[in-house]
Amino acid sequence: MFGRHRELKTSHGLLRDYRVVRLGFEIKRTSAPGLTPSMRSALADLNLTRLDVIHAGDSTFPLTKEVRAVAFRRLLDDVSPLP
């Protein structure tokens, strides 16, 4: 667990095709999240491959190449299951 500013963050490392894939998840109570300094820190400090920000809005959209905002109601459709 990695936390800053009272936000929940987790990181999971997976071995896929002989490379480690590090996924991060963050939950926001907003319907339109934006990229924050703590997200940038989590990407760098944890060496994440991807960060998904789960939010209360209606749609899923990219924030950067490595960060996307995922609507809670679309979570099962937009986030691939772990192997």
Q: What pTM was estimated for this model as a whole?
A: 0.74
Please write the tens of the pLDDT for every residue from 24-82: 999 999 999 999 999 999 999 999 999 999 999 999 999 999 999 999 999 999 988 77
Say yes or no to pLDDT of 13 above 50. Answer: yes
Q: Which of 3-12, 13-22, 43-52, 53-62 has the lowest mean pLDDT?
A: 3-12
Whole-number pLDDT of residue 21: 79
Whole-number pLDDT of residue 12: 54
Domain positions in the chain: 9-78
Could you give the CA distance from residue 62 to residue 69 in angstroms, rounded to a whole number?
6
